[in-house]
Chain A
């Protein structure tokens, strides 16, 4: 089975711009979660989608948004980029919502905001 894929792998943007990141889950997985990873804050949960609906949300401003399509692929969008948004954005997929379902992580998208 192919693993979780994320595109693009690297991205450079300037302050004020917006960005869209994409995540394709493992085939058959219906849940996709997004995380932000920075050296200072570590891994922080952004949101989780299941069956095209946002099920859980972390403590991030409204500039961070996401969506999930009928094929379970997910996108996250960050508008009005700030320098502090520079981070590795990780996506993880799992079969469903139970905590017993293992999360499988993608390689991440490295976003740099100049």
Chain B
């Protein structure tokens, strides 16, 4: 079965420190990967997708097919980055979105 694994349930860093949220996926050809974010009392929303190769709110994510990873990184964390982060991918021909269990990021002052 195709899986998305986020090994850390909780990640706590200090403001200004680098942050990396890990995401690993089970191998499958050319995956389409996404990071979604949910801020406190807000809706789940798309943060970035790997095909866009973009930087959103200072976050970037690089697809590493050799390591089957799609880690989310930011060089200097801000308090407003505190949120729940989900990694997801489309799976198979029927295009279901498969989700990791999420990582709660806490950025401390």
Across the interface, which residues of B come within 8 angstroms of A105, CB to CB? 43-45
Main secondary structure of the interface of B (DSSP, over half): strand
Contact of A64 with B by CB under 8 A: no
Interface size bracket, A side: 20 to 34
Please measure, in the bound complex, the distance between the C-alpha atom of A103 and the C-alpha atom of B95, giving whole angstroms: 13
Check if B46 sits within 8 Å of A102, measured CB to CB: yes
Is B99 a contact partner of A44 (Cβ separation < 8 A)?
A: yes
A16 within 8 A of B: no
B101 touches A56 (CB 8 A): no
User: Could you say which residues of chain A place their CB within 8 Å of the CB of B90?
Assistant: 99
Complex interface residues of chain A between 35 and 60 (CB less than 8 A to chain B): 35, 42-45, 48, 55-58
Contacts of A70 in B (CB 8 A): none
- Is B94 an interface position by the 8 A CB rule? yes
